[in-house]
A = this chain, B = another copy of it.
């Protein structure tokens, strides 16, 4: 199962100084997002923190949007690793329903944590196609383990949509719902879909 998942691609091989630069810039970007918030991150600030010229940041990431997408991808890779081989119940070893609950909670929290970043990376509040494809495949796997039959890609797509930024923004930010209430609603949806 793990080797079938479309993990976010490894970087193509680079000259070692280029690879070092890239890693330093990414680390600087992630630090700035974590400590100063997405809005505060500029190409200049990342260059300064990484100790390279501004031109290097533009050559590496093209635009601020590209930089944000790279920072998001780095976080996503860590999250994918936790799903594939981290401790249960998010990782393997727990019952499928427990894993589904852990998946929903974890995805909900990471989406809220990264909402500004996801928006800054473009795409109307949705994650990248590879990130989405990974979650669809993981959910298909859990649904199959739960004995659900039917069009699993469609059921997985339906289950994922409420964990993306647009709905969570409306519910958690605009309506001021606590995260636990949104999670409870999501579990109700999951029960409907798995019970059918």
Contacts and interface: CB of A to CB of B under 8 A. Distances in A.
A170 B189 contact: no
Interface string A33-75: 0000000000000000000000000000000000000000000
Interface residues of A, number: 30
A129 interface: yes
A161 interface: yes
A158 B189 contact: yes
A185 B124 contact: no
A151 B177 CA distance: 12
Indicate the member of A123, A150, A154, A182 with the most B CB atoms within 10 Å.
A154
A154 B193 contact: no
A162 interface: yes
Nearest to A170: B153
Contacts of A196: 188, 191-192, 195-196
Contacts of A81: none
A170 B126 CA distance: 17
Nearest to A191: B196
A8 interface: no
A164 to B, nearest CB: 9
Contacts of A158: 158-159, 161-162, 189, 193
A157 B161 contact: yes
Contacts of A159: 158
B123 A185 contact: no
The 10 closest A-B pairs by CB, nearest first: A192-B196, A161-B161, A151-B185, A158-B158, A123-B124, A154-B162, A157-B167, A154-B185, A157-B162, A157-B161
5 contacts: A123-B123, A155-B192, A157-B161, A158-B161, A161-B161
